[in-house]
Amino acid sequence: MNIENTTKIAVQAIFTNKSRSFLTMLGVVIGVCAVILLMAIGNGLQEYITRQFDALGANTITVIPGNIFNEGGGFGGEESQIAALTTNKLRFSDVRDIQRLDGIKDASPIMIGATSVSFQNVTKKRSVLGALPSYQHILNTKTKTGDFFTDADNDGAKRVVVLGSKLTTDLFNTADPIGKTVRVNGQAFRVRGVAEEKGSSFGGPSFDDYIYMPYTTYVDLFGDTKVTRIAVQATSKDEVPRVIDSIKKTLGKRLKTDDFTVIETTDILKVINQILSVLTLGLGSIAAISLVVGGIGIMNIMLVSVTERTREIGLRKALGATPNTILLQFLIESSMLSIIGGMIGVAIAVLFSLIINKFFPASVNFSSVALAFGVSAAIGIIFGVAPARRASQLSPIEALRYE
Partner 1 sequence: MSNPLLQLEDISKVYTIGETTIHALDHVNLSIEDGEYVAVTGHSGSGKSTLLQVSSFLDKPSSGSIFLHGKRIENFSESDLARLRNKEIGFVFQQFNLLPKTSALDNVALPLIYADIPVQERYRKAKETLELVGLGDRLKNTRAQLSGGQQQRVAIARALVNNPSIIFADEPTGNLDSKSSDEIIEMFDALHKKGKTMILVTHEQEIAHHAQRQIIMLDGKIISDTKKRKK
Residues in contact with partner 1 by the rule CB under 8 A? 1-2, 5, 9, 12, 16, 311-312, 314-325, 395-397, 400
CB of 305 to partner 1, least distance (A): 13
Helix, strand, coil tally for the chain in percent (to 5): 60, 15, 25
Looking at the Cβ atoms of 160 and 321, the one nearer to partner 1 is 321
CB of 329 to partner 1, least distance (A): 11
Looking at the Cβ atoms of 315 and 381, the one nearer to partner 1 is 315
Looking at the Cβ atoms of 41 and 326, the one nearer to partner 1 is 326
Looking at the Cβ atoms of 1 and 55, the one nearer to partner 1 is 1
∠ CA 338-340-345, nearest 5°, is 90
* Interstrand relation of 187-195 and 229-234 (parallel, antiparallel or unpaired): unpaired
Integer angstrom CA distances of residue 13 from 38, 161, 227, 313, 332: 33, 70, 72, 12, 11
Residues 6+ apart with CB under 8 A from 200: 206, 207, 208
CB of 320 to partner 1, least distance (A): 2
**Alpha-carbon distance 119 to 116, whole Å?**
10
CB of 395 to partner 1, least distance (A): 8
| CA 98 and chain centroid, separation | 34
Looking at the Cβ atoms of 5 and 285, the one nearer to partner 1 is 5
CB of 12 to partner 1, least distance (A): 8
CB of 382 to partner 1, least distance (A): 24
CB of 400 to partner 1, least distance (A): 7
CB of 389 to partner 1, least distance (A): 14
| CA 323 and chain centroid, separation | 51
b/e 159-194 (16+ beta carbons within 10 angstroms → b): bbbbbbbbbbebbbeeeebbeeebebeeeebebbbb
Looking at the Cβ atoms of 314 and 361, the one nearer to partner 1 is 314
CB of 292 to partner 1, least distance (A): 32
CB of 318 to partner 1, least distance (A): 5
Q: How far apart are the first and last CA of the chain?
A: 28
Closest CA to 167 of 196, 139, 147, 141: 196
Looking at the Cβ atoms of 8 and 144, the one nearer to partner 1 is 8
Q: Please check whether residue 17 is in contact with residue 332, taking contact to mean a CB–CB distance below 8 angstroms.
A: no
Looking at the Cβ atoms of 205 and 396, the one nearer to partner 1 is 396
CB atoms < 10 A from the CB of 236, how many? Answer: 11
Looking at the Cβ atoms of 282 and 323, the one nearer to partner 1 is 323
CB of 5 to partner 1, least distance (A): 5
Calculate the CA dihedral of residues 248, 87, 49, 206 and round it to 10 degrees: -130
CB atoms < 10 A from the CB of 62, how many? Answer: 18
**Alpha-carbon distance 134 to 226, whole Å?**
19
Bridge partners, 163 (sequence order): 194, 211
Looking at the Cβ atoms of 175 and 397, the one nearer to partner 1 is 397
- Using only C-alpha atoms, what is the Rg of the chain? 32
Looking at the Cβ atoms of 279 and 315, the one nearer to partner 1 is 315
Residues 6+ apart with CB under 8 A from 248: 257, 262
